Structure formats: structure tokens, C-alpha cells
Amino acid sequence: MKKVIVAMSGGVDSSLAAALMKDKGYDVTGITLKLFDGQEKYLEDASKMADHLGIRWYMADYSEDFKSNVISYFTNTYKQGQTPNPCAYCNRYSKFSYLISEMKKINAKMVVTGHYADTAELDGTMHIKKAADPKKDQSYFLSLLTADQIRYLHFPHAHRTKIEVRRIAGEYGLQVSNKKDSQEVCFLEGGDYRDYLSKFVPLDYGKGNFILNGLIIGEHKGILNYTVGQRKGLGISYHEPLYVKNIDPHTCNIELASRQNVFFKNIKAINCNFVTTPPERFTAKAKIRYRMTEQNCSVEIRENNTAFVEFEEQRFAPAPGQILSIYDGDYVLGGGFINEVF
């Protein structure tokens, strides 16, 4: 039997993934990654589901590395006046690296997770591919993965909806079949990101002025409290809604603008990763947020893993620090971190 390792969070998606792999005759080992303090209370369900399925299970503690890597990235990005995407960053630089490392330790051949995504070959190389259910597709969060990571991955729910997953989990007798979905950013535990940041950085860090049309119109509470595209919670009275257009980490000033003035067509992305070496110029589709559909664009690759993307139509408030994900149809070609918009 082919040996596989299944990442088990204690939720319905990963528990059913383990059940399905065992049902197909694989030698399944469940693993739960301990990533942050206080996570122990969430681990009991993973252990219970492994016992229910009759598979091996263990916990691997990567909390120290996660703190120095993902948590540091999260806090430092906000301090730079940008908006982090910890899930996409973690998938590339932490979670799947941990899982592949554990896979090799036990001589398994595949990493299985409950993500709603797929893998498929494009031009001879395995790529991340969109899931069949557009409402649950998580390919955006996997767009930074490398070819060396993707070749080990398998996603059993690629062609299922969440409703189907819950129904099948019930048929397997999994007690977590109706368990509430976890929050996207696991270490926030459903809380406000500002409350979490306050553990590491004073929330009044980077206090400065609100700027509108070159004029100071008020003071803000500190750059950690704001993100590009934000409208609510600014505390500014004006005759029309204002949005955060730009956050300058050097002056700590925040530029505001009316809605029509926070649309942009051009994006510079840095630290880009493409599954295969792309041509210098090509057309594709791309998106700058999870909850949006891909839009037509042209892509120009520059040195130092930098890409310039021009959309056919303007996009609302691309946020520096967020992920730009580039697609060829349903296939993820790669992605990078939004650095500049113009």
C-alpha cells in the first residue's frame, strides 16, 4: 500500500480526506501541526477522528518556527503600511514545507489535505488547479507554491462542494460532519487582527495625519489600524465616503480619496513564483483578492522575480502586501506580493 500523510486540523474537510484515502486502500498517517500557543484545545477532534478511522496520528510542534516566520511576517508587514496575507505566505513558506518534511521522515509518498483545490498537469508540469466549486475554491491561497511542493500534493475534495463533503462525512459517521468552518487566519482564532497585533506592537505605532488632496484633514490612530481600500472606521466627517488610498510607512501619513480615485490598472508584484519559467511577456487572467473572479491582464516579467501586470479594466484598491495570483484558465501559473499600484 502506498503510504500517505494527511494533514488533520480536526475539521470536517481534513477528517473526510483521511477517511477517503483509507477507503481507497492507502496506508494513512494523520498529522496535526501545532503552530501557535493555545492551539491544543483544537487538536482533540483530530485525535478523535484518527481513532474513529483507525489510523495512526501524531502532532508535530512547529510553533517556534511558525512564530519567527509567519507571525513575524504578519506583524512586520503591517508595520510597513501594507496588508499581509498570512494564509498564502504560510502555505508557501511554512505549512507545506513542514508537511513535506514530515512526509519524508515517515517515508510516505504523498501529502493530502482538505483544501478545495486540484492539481493537474500543464505542459508537462504539475500545477495547482481551481476546484470545481467556485464558492470554495482555495487556489488563490496556494498560488505561491513551487513545482517541488506541488508534485507531492493531493486534494480529495477537488470536485466536491462543501454540502457534499458534509453529507459524505455524515455517512462515514464522522462527528465533525457539521462542525463550523475554521477561520482563514488560524492564529487569530476568529478575533480582530488589531487585538492580536497589540500583543507585539502598540496600536498607536506610526501615528500621523490623514491627507486628502494634499491637505491635512485630521489625525489617525496609527498605521496598524488601517488597510488600503478601507472605508469604515476612519472617524472622518466628509460630504462623501472616503477610502484609504495609500499608507506611507516613512511619514506615517495616510492618503484618503473618493471611491473613483482608488481604482488602478497597473500592479508591480515582487518575490514572484511561477511553477515553470514564463515568457517575458504574456497574457493571462489574474486576481488581487480571494473573493473576486480573475480578470484579463498582460504580464511582463522583469529581473529579481518581479512582474508588472496591467489589467484590461481598473481594479478597486489593490492593497500592497496582498497576493496577486495569475491564471491560465483554471491553472495557477504563479503569484507574487503586490508592491506598487499605479
Which H or E run includes 292? none
Q: How many residues appear in the chain?
A: 342
DSSP structural state of residue 57: E
- 297 catalytically annotated: no
Closest listed residue to residue 24, CA positions, set 3, 8, 10: 3
Residue from 90, 252, 272, 297 carrying the catalytic annotation: 90
Residue from 87, 186, 272, 297 carrying the catalytic annotation: 186
Where are the strands (E) in the chain, listed by range?
3-7, 27-34, 56-61, 110-112, 118-122, 125-129, 153-154, 209-212, 215-219, 243-247, 254-257, 263-274, 281-287, 295-302, 306-316, 323-328, 331-341
- 87 catalytically annotated: no
Distance (Å, whole) CA 28 – CA 191: 34
Report whether 186 contacts 70 (CB < 8 A).
Answer: no
Report whether 311 contacts 280 (CB < 8 A).
Answer: no
* Residues known to be catalytic: 90, 186
